[in-house]
Chains A and B, each alone.
Chain A
């Protein structure tokens, strides 16, 4: 492990630079954009889960007073195909058909037409005047039934990808991923105990509090400006360009403050529609989804069926593990089966394993990324199986995991050898934690589980500008979804040696800063942070060169310390150190203003492991679960801003507990979601949760200048199985399916 480093700014938790505007209501979110002459855009959505669209007639809507544009699938170009960049984008042709149906409506709520009108009231009335002729088809709603040869098909041109041989018949299975090592049959023969189970998890939504919104304005020259709520405005620009067949250069995307995303705002829904409506109407068009639209038509994560078998020796050594995963893609291919398959066994040393994962089309909304996409579902199954093994062999669940824990040099199931990782450190910390050594409260159950996420690097750019008073401006392109401006300022302050208060960070639009991939994959503090650090190093190099020229010494005779250029030790120069302000004061003589920059494709993202344990009580009369205590332990690499690292851990714990205990998409037989609102899709509220205790482990990532791993996604993974294992401990009943809601718990207790 690298030695702990004493930083001055990194590891402190100052107030974020954008904080005051967010506690006073000044911060501009997407729906807060207002321009004169703006029209309101609204979308007509399919009332059927599966139907051929025979015709769409918008003429009566267009004829209404106050209606300035109306479009349907026929108004969009058809040809675009090819992979979308970023996290969870899928195929651009699918995204195009998802935001506006063409010949088929593939889920209840699928967009089929849109209007722009002078008021929301008129827009709603206009939607009612659009005639759509449907030919309804049988909806495909169950992931396992969807895989059967006789299932109705969503897409008769879909032939399963990644099979050894291309199948001769179409099916609802979009693709298959297989990961294998060693010999599982031999592995199971070596086992003293084996456990096996099938685990079902329904679709769940990211549940960001801000509905999707945007305003687009297209001028007479055909240039569009779009304000929107996005995790990646560069990728939104790219998708919009491909979907509308517009030049990238004719589209300018300005990211508003973003009211939560969790992966769900990595893909477009409204933006291309708003641009097209604005072009047709010749006026700005503002579109805001209702909460119901958010539930029905934007990215939930996959519902899943996972079958897992694990074998172990009496001493706890896992000898073999096998998994079969089926994930709902929704209406278009793109369930996160790759990460689901790669993550399931990642925390453990395994000689023999086999995973087969299926991306399955069903008549539900097209899934989008959700925090560690794919990992919570598969790891829920594995972490329950380990809990059952621990019980069978009479071993502490943390000791069982320690016995098998991956560490530096372990070959990950997905190929590479892990560099320094902190899983064992998390497990040891859990064992020693006062919340773990304390007895389980009377009548309660305690559950343990581990979590993991890969984290990603990808492309980032950053500029650092120095003002004439030596204050620092950072310009980068990753929407700040949870305090990342503060992390950027801390890393810049540390690198440059200037006070945090003298650094400001801005998120540039697509024309004012260099390309950055999405705020996703827990990459922002890692990759964009790395670009900020390099841009600061660029500034330092320029300052040293200018000081050298000013002092008449060689560049290597100048050092940078505490925010100043100083002569290197032993250099005999009678000079005054030069701060950033000093360099700027003489800039007109030494080469002009200071502008540092960096762009990179970051590799070396460090995997982040976690261990969670939860104490909860189950009311056996009502089936209600009360969470008494929750402890989250996670390796952050280095916590740049510890309070916001804790925030990620606590927020992920709450989302994971919500998914474990209550959240689910409930469908009727026709494929209509029955709980498309926050009253019935119940996310955790303050009174549902206790304080969430956090312990940040810091095993620095050797591939980041300050050791950052990325922390945003791992926290949601472990709570699912931790809660399930705690319910098992509290009730003596093993429930394989989520959510652990009162009716499901009661049914399990009654049938036990």
Chain B
């Protein structure tokens, strides 16, 4: 099976790759581009561990084909921190002990970024429903929700 040539932008950087037509974007990211901060938990769009931003919109990389990245702009967990250091969302996840094993954490942080970009001041219910596509088996979500609330406050003060 011949591979398809794809040109795309990931975390502000022009990237090109060859992928199989049926290969998921998650598979390309992890196994070919070695951007492995994006995790696979289910490969069926049910767990959110592979959350990435596609032109700013939250998607599961496992539900997207590698070829669908052509001409698009993607952000992965590797693109959340800046040269100045951690993003406030990352900092608040640390301070609030909002991770235990850490496998779901990149997905939660990307999903939180998408939420706060869209709604800088979400209430608890909004946070819980927005993050309902991201599974965490360790924390019971309490400290994650608190970290998101704290990050929203921090970002509001910075703005």
Contact = CB atoms under 8 A, between A and B. Distances in A.
Contact of A19 (B23, B34, B94, B109): B94
A632 to B, nearest CB: 9
B98 to A, nearest CB: 9
A683 B132 CA distance: 11
Interface of A is mostly: loop
Interface string B66-90: 0000000000111011000010001
A687 B128 contact: yes
A625 to B, nearest CB: 16
Contacts of A261: 101
Contacts of A655: 137, 140
A261 B101 CA distance: 9
A207 to B, nearest CB: 5
Nearest to A655: B137
Contacts of B25: none
A689 interface: yes
A577 B50 CA distance: 53
A266 to B, nearest CB: 15
Given A650-B143, A689-B140, A23 B129 contact: no
Contacts of A688: 132
Residue picked from B1, B93, B135, most chain A C-beta under 10 Å: B135
Contacts of A646: 97, 142-143
Contacts of B128: 686-687, 689
A647 interface: yes
Nearest to A650: B140
Interface in A538-586: none
Task: Tell which of B90, B139, B140 has the most Cβ of chain A within 10 Å.
Answer: B140
Interface string B27-49: 10011001111111111101101
B132 A687 contact: yes
A120 B27 contact: yes
Interface size class of chain B, counting residues whose CB lies under 8 Å from the partner chain? 35 or more
B24 to A, nearest CB: 10
A214 to B, nearest CB: 15
Interface in B1-20: 1, 20
A290 B43 contact: yes
A652 B137 CA distance: 9
Interface string A89-105: 00000000000000000
B105 A678 contact: no
A301 to B, nearest CB: 14
A208 interface: yes
Contacts of B37: 24-26
Contacts of B36: 25, 28-29, 31-32, 34
Interface string A645-675: 0110011111100000000000000000000
B101 A678 contact: no
Given A209-B135, A686-B134, A481 B101 contact: yes
Nearest to A288: B40
Given A24-B37, A290-B43, A691 B142 contact: yes
A27 B129 CA distance: 28
Contacts of B39: 29, 31, 209-210, 259
A467 interface: no
Contact of B42 (A206, A291, A644, A686): A291
With most chain B CB atoms within 10 A of its CB, the pick from A18, A24, A209 is A209
Contact of B104 (A119, A209, A643): A209
Given A22-B105, A208-B101, A686 B46 contact: no
- 4 closest cross-chain pairs (CB), A and B: A25-B37, A259-B103, A22-B102, A654-B140
6 contacts: A24-B80, A29-B103, A260-B138, A651-B140, A677-B42, A687-B129
